[in-house]
Amino acid sequence: MTITAYLSAILDLADKSIVSYVLGHSNNNELVFRTFDLAHITYPEAKPLFHSDRGFQYTNKLFKKKLDEAGMTQSMSRVARCIDNGPMESFWGMIKSEIYSP
């Protein structure tokens, strides 16, 4: 039996720290919404530019509504331009390297 875990994280570009993260069993809206809610509860006064890739969770109207209600501005990578989300892609690369390297 294979068990898959999904990690959702939010990175602060100012100091490269992880603001919030949630581990789940499914890569769904709930996972991303919980990660966002945790970040917003922890830093309620923050009004950042929220940048993401174009994953279905981030293009969801409910997610856009959450950002608007929190006073945040949404930004997304251009289509097929993973470099636009370079800092987060680098973070995921480090995580994978640590997990899969002997």
59's tokens: 């293009």
pLDDT confidence of residue 34: 97
**pLDDT given at position 91:** 85
Instruction: Return per-residue pLDDT of the chain as tens, 102 residues.
Output: 888 999 999 999 899 999 999 999 999 999 999 999 999 999 999 998 888 888 889 899 999 999 999 999 988 777 766 676 778 888 888 888 988 876
DSSP per-residue letters across 36-87: HHHHHHHSTT---EEEE---HHHHSHHHHHHHHHTTPEEEEPPTT-GGGGHH
pTM for this predicted structure: 0.85
Q: Look at residue 102 in the predicted model and tell me its pLDDT.
A: 62
pLDDT at site 100: 82
Q: Quick one: pLDDT at residue 54?
A: 84
Q: What are the extents of the domains in the chain?
A: 6-100
Q: Superfamily assignment of 6-100 in CATH?
A: Ribonuclease H-like superfamily/Ribonuclease H (3.30.420.10)
Distances (CA, A) of 21 to 39, 58, 78: 8, 16, 24
